[in-house]
Amino acid sequence: MPPPDQRAERFQYDGFTIDPIRGEICCRYSTGGQSFTERFEFGPDSRWDDPATQAAARMLFLLAGVSYYKTTAARVIDLGSTTSTPDERAFLTRYYVHGLGEFAYRNNIELSDLVVEGPDAPTGAPATSPPRYDPTPGRPLIPFGGGIDSIVTVAALCVGPVKAADAALCIVHPPRDRFAAIEDAAAVTGVPVVRVTRRLDPLVRRSEELGFLNGHVPITAVISAAAVVAAVLDRRDAVVLSNESSASVPTLLHAGQAINHQWSKGIEFEQSFAHFVAASLGPRLSVFSYLRPRSELWVAQQFAQLGEFHEVFRSCNRSFHQDPTQRLHHWCGTCDKCCFIDLILAPFLPAASLRGLFDGHEPLEQPELEGRFATLLGLAADDKPFECVGDLDECRAALALAAARPDRQRTPLVRTLVERVTEAGDASSAAQAASLLVPAGPHYIPDRYAPPDLLVPAH
């Protein structure tokens, strides 16, 4: 791995092309003497020549470069011949600096000096004049990952009071490979699926061999951009994400800077990306998170009522290993994500149900996992894990509610954790837990998709 002082000088956007026959967007980048190509296949469609589709493809091209930029962490991002506005370059700078915050922290790299440069878009160019885009109302596209968040969103939009009859799921997957953890839950929804095939350049899988820098990228942003292309092709009026409020909470603070593993799931990215979409496509495509004003605790409470999904959902990251031979088709029961899901569901599901879910290896039944739970609860010297998990308040509220259940009062690890939280003087009260079960904080859900408890009464 090259040391930080040997970062490349320049990362180049080399351009993108659209193949309407294959329905494919081909994105090209280069840095450090290497060239990369990433392909997204959506399928043939008569709308590939539409200016709105081309504008959406350009947005995907601009965001997908992050997977290749990280190989050298260049000091300058050169957009090449791709014109842009000052606002777009400012957005891309924030996207790279904050979206790669964890990557930079782990690799001991300072990205605050990053410069994004490229030719200005002339007045009247696509970057400054959004094409006319007229979607059909009531047709949301929901990026779907098979976890409790996206399941709750689908249940609310397709079964709940909003009842968007013409909704579809959007699933992004590698060529000739689908993740059972997503497909099994998607099948239970009964909602049609729009598929996007994403083909990474094979060079990025040889990072160690080729001396590339490596680390976490804001993949949710890339998936969101791919969903925008899919939505435009299908004339849908919304891309509905499933990111709750605590996704905006930093994982840690380092040298006065917030580092957030979930930055591309947070409200800062949501707002910036929505503005980027509106500037590129106009105001009629809404991009927002349906769960933004909700807590993980509320999401777990809702999910507990969706029994048809309890046997098929999986959020364990080992279910999504890129190498199919290393992929688990069950919960590992020991990782941070397994521990968090068990903890957040424990207040709402019987202990016996969760034991069955984890096939007899429920994390809360394993005293040797005390350290992982202590980290989630803010009781350890370690920082919050770099994982998609809830914040300290949510975890402590879940523990307090779980401990009050009769079927948990004899669980040794639960008792131990409650004692440690009490000794720390930070025990969660019932009132504090209740406050996490009502909507709070800003959101960008348009009225046509807002649930009744978020609608402002008419005067």
Tell me how many degrees the CA angle 224-88-73 measures, rounded to the nearest 5: 75
User: Does the pLDDT of residue 5 top 80, yes or no?
Assistant: no
Poorest-confidence range of 128-132, 180-184, 301-305, 326-330? 326-330
- Please check whether residue 62 is in contact with residue 92, taking contact to mean a CB–CB distance below 8 angstroms: yes
pTM above 0.75, yes or no: yes
State residue 160's pLDDT score: 63
pLDDT, residue 459, reads 37
- Where is average pLDDT lowest: 33-37, 38-42, 82-86, 178-182? 178-182
Q: Are 139 and 164 in contact (CB under 8 A)?
A: yes
pLDDT of residue 424: 82
Q: What angle do CA 112, 259, 314 make, to 5 degrees?
A: 135
Q: Average pLDDT, whole number, for the chain?
A: 91
Residues 15-29 have a mean pLDDT of 97
Alpha carbons 34 and 233: distance in angstroms, whole number: 32
Tell me: the pLDDT tens digits for 88-130? 999 999 999 999 999 999 999 999 999 999 999 988 776 777 8
Least confident of 139-153, 201-215, 248-262, 321-335: 321-335
Q: Does the pLDDT of residue 261 top 70, yes or no?
A: yes
Structure confidence at residue 294 as a pLDDT band (50, 70, 90)? very high
pLDDT band at 317 (very low <50, low <70, confident <90, very high): confident
* pLDDT value, residue 163: 67
Query: Using 50, 70 and 90 to split pLDDT, how confident is the model at 2?
Result: very low
Provide the pLDDT for residue 102.
96
Instruction: Write the pLDDT tens digit of every residue in 207-254.
Output: 989 999 999 999 999 999 999 999 999 999 999 999 999 999 988 888
Confidence grade of residue 44 (pLDDT, cut at 50, 70, 90): confident
Query: For the residues 123-140, what does the mean pLDDT come to?
Result: 85
Check residue 282 and give left, alpha or beta (phi > 0: left; psi -120 to 50: alpha): left
| pLDDT score, position 285 | 97
* Interval 182-186 mean pLDDT: 94
Please state, in angstroms and rounded to a whole number, the distance separating the CA atoms of residues 243 and 148. Answer: 11
Confidence check: pLDDT of 57 > 90: yes
